[in-house]
Amino acid sequence: MRVLSGIQPSGRLHIGNFFGAMRRQLQLQAEHDCFYFIADYHALTSNPDPADVAQRIIDVAIDYMALGLDTEKTVFWRQSDVPQVTELTWLLSCVTPVGLLQRCTSYKDKVAQGMSPNHGLFAYPVLQAADILIFNSNLVPVGADQKQHIEVTRDIAIRFNNNYGEILTVPKEHIIESVAVVPGLDGRKMSKSYGNTIEIFEPESSVKKKIMRIVTDSTPVEDPKDPDKCNVFALLKLVASDDELGEWESKYRNGGMGYGEAKKRLAELMIDYFKPYREKRAELEGNIDYVNEVLADGAKRARAVAVETLAKARQAVGLGA
């Protein structure tokens, strides 16, 4: 099956990105034909500083490659290097009801958070549908909270096919059963918009300082503590072995342990977990030409598929190939 996923170059990746979705995306490479892209067009909806855009694209590319993306097997490219996507977006726009877009909760949530209600943000789901449909994607890995995005894509594809014939592959979502929501330093979901993240590749000294700042309750050292309500324990579950996690659970429930002790061990485990990825990233940072070659090759492979799908769609609507 063909699996498609995109990542926005909106800033440095954090451990919530990795444990929430990326790890499963990378595992899927062994099972399926994967198409993964850097969604730079999507990133423009927030009007980022143009000086930051190019660097963020390279940073995301390096991060994914360092974390285990198989550049021989997986097609990996910049969204903007496949212009056929934007043409298909227009064709899809012409069959997409405004009411469908108005019901999208993502748009409402982002506007409520202060983002400018521009057309790109409003029509984001149509571009996302084109991303998925132009590559004949079968599965799209998403978190449960993003299921609506795939439902909209399916709706658009079905409407297009009803009008013009069975041109587009109607995808299915692949819900990623992550280790719940990864908590940030303040206990809320880890998110760049909350400023509560631990970046995957930030300096080790910074990782330690951030972990020591994780919000905990005021339970005295000598008293029992509930591991199921502790942000530190939730993060320990991501990187500790089953045996060690069992020991920490006993320490929590028996009392006599301070949160600082758990935080120090969490910092050690988190740094050790990502150490080999840090080393790989350092190598890639010293060979940016290679990174760009990978993206260029991926774009070429992606365009070969996109051209065929767009030709069929153009023919179907009467524009010719």
The dihedral through the CA atoms of 223, 226, 232, 235 has a sign that is positive
- As beta bridge partners, residue 78 has 38
Active-site residue identified among 73, 172, 192, 312: 192
Is 189 annotated as catalytic?
yes
- Neighbour count for residue 301 (Cβ, 10 Å): 16
One-character DSSP codes across 289-314: HHHHHHHHHHHHHHHHHHHHHHHHHH
Q: Kindly state the DSSP code that residue 77 receives in the 8-state scheme.
A: E
Side chain identity, residue 55: Q
Q: What is residue 74's three-state secondary structure?
A: coil
Catalytic residue among 108, 189, 229, 312: 189
CB atoms within 10 A of CB 212: 14
CA distance 151 to 130: 13
Does the annotation mark 210 as catalytic?
no
- 192 catalytic? Reply is yes
- Are the C-beta atoms of 131 and 4 separated by less than 8 Å? yes
Euclidean distance between CA atoms 167 and 158, whole angstroms: 10
Distance CA 215, CA 234 (A): 12
- Residues taking part in catalysis: 110, 189, 192
